[in-house]
Structures are given as structure tokens and as C-alpha cells.
Structure 1
């Protein structure tokens, strides 16, 4: 499994489908054409499910999926911290993690926005994978909520969750317990950096 490739593809698929969506969709399918099975298969299934959906219609589905309910937000700290002061401290820590790797993302998005975190994981695999692992509970809760909503985006979250170590929560109650206790630590030593250019907005 090429986890950085899955993370980059998921980042592109989970970004708002604006005017660049058709080109983004083609790029993801082309990048995944040599991958078979596993998380990549879920991403390709999503691509197939939405390939004939007009961009404006898909944008409406996206808004319904992610912007109409706090149970399906792409801002991961909401699942563990809610609207509390603690969330501000968590956001500051995430931003500090980005800076520690020499990355300054665009200022118009919160650092816990999932597409942003996935791009970071694609470009800085060790640090990014550890960050995603720390937010495993939020990812699983979002995956379950999208499944309940019968959204095709559930496949994208399923692919992301399959790239993370350890067993998946069996149900929502188990995911909520994970949100309270946090995941066990993960070993990141030995992960090679993702080849290629720095992420968008990066300053190396």
C-alpha cells in the first residue's frame, strides 16, 4: 500500500468540487491506475460513483455531506474538543506541528481541516501519519456518520482509515470511547519521505 499516494488522492477528493473538479478527478484516477485492492480500490469506487455527476450537483452533495451537520464536519478537532477553549489549544498544537516540518499552509483554512492534514501526511509521511493516527477517533466517527448518510464520500474516509495502524473501532460507541481515551502510540521510524515537491503553501 502506498499510503502517501492514498493520502494525497483523498485530499484532492475531499476538497470542495469547484471548477477544477473534472481535472482533479482525472488526475486521481490516473495516479491510482496501478494500485489494486485495499484503500485505493475504495477511492476508485468513489471516483466511479461520482464520475457522471455534474460538478454543481456534486458541490451540492458536498455541502450537504460536510457543512450541514456537525456530526459530519471535516474539522477533526470538533469531534474530540467541541466548541471549547481546549479546541483552540489543540489547533495551535497542530499548527506548531506543521511549522516544525517547515510547512506553512494557506491562512484561509483551519489546521484541522482534513484535506489539509491529508496533504501534510502525503508530503511529510512520518509526521503526517502520526498526526492522522492521533485523530483516528474523529476519522472513524466521520466515516460512520457518512455511512449513515449514505454518502459516496464514505468510501474516501474508509480508504483513509485503512491506512492507519491498529484495529478499527467496531461501532460508533467504540469510536467514541477512542475519542475519550486516544489511540495508542504508533511507530513512525523508518518511513521514507514522499518524493516530489513540497505541499501547496509550503515554505521550505
Structure 2
């Protein structure tokens, strides 16, 4: 499977598992065939009761700050820099014809993955590379809670550049210190994670 199709599939699998998604079982199995991790994840998704899958998604991504899907928070916290990063993402999307629905934030990981799938490996994957550290912290958080969603993040991580020594140092600093804090009226831009538990994971 080529990169764009993997990004498209992982984008879909990281969205809320509503009835429409769960009803597309045959299509999901076919799309995941041959991709280690995604086959196992789709099997879990389709063999677990819908109510339990939906409850698990909410508990994993909506109720745990440490595993939020909003990537800019990991690097910028609630600061003016985050607001600028969100604006730049929106402008990048518009330049490629991707329009967000009302209320959607451009740093939500499924949207970033969708953009990578549609805009290609150059400009399309740039936001994923820019937020490589946040993706790694999210992956570590999902592994700690042993959620099947960690398998999806593993697949995404395999397609991104390897972490450098500088990346690992930055990850350790983020895990110890957390993201910057600056109250600027950004309460509605997505709940961010508590990174402190992952200082050891990122070493």
C-alpha cells in the first residue's frame, strides 16, 4: 500500500467510531490488508461491541489530556504561538483546496493525516514532520495505556523521519516541563496533554 493510502486509512481510523465507520467493516478490512498493525486494529475495532469501542475512544482521546489529538498543543501549549501555528495550518490547507468544516481545528491529527494523503509527500506531509515530537509523545501515551489505538500511531510513526538525538532531547524537556503556558483566550482550541508522565518514556 502506498503512503497516501496509509495516511488516508489512519486518518479514518483515528476519527470517532460512529455507526457509519463501523458499518464499513468489509471496506476497512480490505484497506488494511497487508499492513502490520492496521489489520490487528481493524479486527479489534470490528469485533468489539460498538458501544464499548465508542466509550473507549472517548476515554482515550477526549477525557485524557495526555493523549489529546491536537498536535500544536504539544509544542506551543496555550500561547500566542499556538494561535499562529493554527492559522498557518489553515492557510496551508486552503492553498491546496482543503476546507475545514465549521468548528474543526486544523491541528487535529486525523485532519493532518488527511492533508498528507491528499496533498502528497512534499507539502502535504510537512505538518506531520513539523509535529513529529508531538506525535511521538502521543504514541508513548497510547502505549502506556495499552490501547489498540497505539497500533495506528505506530504505523504513522514508521512513515515519518527517524527521531534524531536533538528530537529526543526536546522530547525529554517537553515531558519534564510540559508545553508553554500563556492564557490568551485559547480555551476552545482543544484540550492538551499532561506530558510529565512521559519523561522516562522519551529518553
Q: Match of 1:88, SS?
A: helix
Q: Residue 154 of structure 2 corresponds to which residue in structure 1?
A: 158
- Comparing 149-158 with 125-134, which one deviates more in the overlay? 125-134
Number of residues of Structure 1 aligned to a counterpart in Structure 2? 174
Q: Match of 2:110, SS?
A: helix
Unmatched runs of 5 consecutive residues or more in structure 1? 181-204
Structure 1 distance, partners of 2:172, 2:73, is: 13
Matched, 1:101 2:96: yes
Per-residue Cα deviation, 1:94-118 (whole angstroms, up to 9, x for no partner): 1111011122122221000111111
Change (3 A) 1:20 1:113: same
Instruction: Report the Cα offset of residue 174 of structure 1.
Output: 5.9
Q: Residue 136 of structure 2 corresponds to which residue in structure 1?
A: 140
Unmatched runs of 5 consecutive residues or more in structure 2? 178-203
CA RMSD of superposed structures (Å): 2.3
Instruction: Report the Cα offset of residue 138 of structure 1.
Output: 0.7
- The answer (yes or no) to whether the contact 1:42–1:156 under 8 Å persists in 2 is yes
**TM-score (structure 2 length as normaliser):** 0.78
- The answer (yes or no) to whether the contact 2:62–2:68 under 8 Å persists in 1 is yes
Instruction: Report the Cα offset of residue 157 of structure 1.
Output: 0.6
Change (3 A) 1:69 1:32: closer
**TM-score (structure 1 length as normaliser):** 0.77
Change (3 A) 1:99 1:155: same
Change (3 A) 1:166 1:74: same
